Amino acid sequence: MSNRWLMLSLTQLHRALLRLTRGRVGSRLGSMPVIELITRGRRTGESRSALLTVAVRDGDRLVIVASRGGDDAHPAWFLNLEADPRVQVGEPGRPARPMRARIADVHERERLWPLVVAAYRGYAGYQRRTDRVIPLVLLEPEPHDVS
């Protein structure tokens, strides 16, 4: 089974666990909360959903990591939000809310990366495994969404 198929299978199992337990089990991985990120497919225009962990909360922003387990390619959800930064973010027990995604600039990444690695040491290993700089993505509330 390829890494891609393994990741897809684990995601489906995780999604089923969240649904069956109404978010009581599987809403955190270690110290990191799990969110559902909904993007618009860059080619199809259809909604695409990914379960991701929030490595850091930076004020009202959520910081997610486009690591793909240290793969040399960016995850599809990252490519989708590059094409359209308007996303929906669902958290267990809360309705999905509109947010805007943006890639952390060099200075933000420099400040946030140690916090990301403190949340999950595996991210440092993922970065060593690939030549690409693993992007950090900031999910920010839409200006009219003050919740």
Q: Which CATH number fits domain 29-141: 2.30.110.10, 3.30.70.270, 3.30.450.20, 3.30.565.10?
A: 2.30.110.10
Residue 10 one-letter amino acid:
L
Q: Is the pLDDT at 2 greater than 60, yes or no?
A: no
Torsion (CA) 21, 101, 72, 12 in degrees, nearest 10: 20
Q: What value does the mean pLDDT of the chain take?
A: 86
| CB distance 99 to 147 below 8 Å | no
Give the DSSP H/E element, type plus range, for residue 26: none
Contacts of range 57-61, beta carbons closer than 8 Å, 24 or more positions apart: 58/112, 58/138, 60/140, 60/141, 61/138, 61/139, 61/140
Judge if pTM exceeds 0.85. Answer: no
Above 50 in pLDDT, residue 1? no
Per domain, the residue ranges of the chain are 29-141
Residue 144 predicted with pLDDT over 90? no
Whether the predicted pLDDT of 43 surpasses 50: yes
More confident residue, 91 or 106: 106
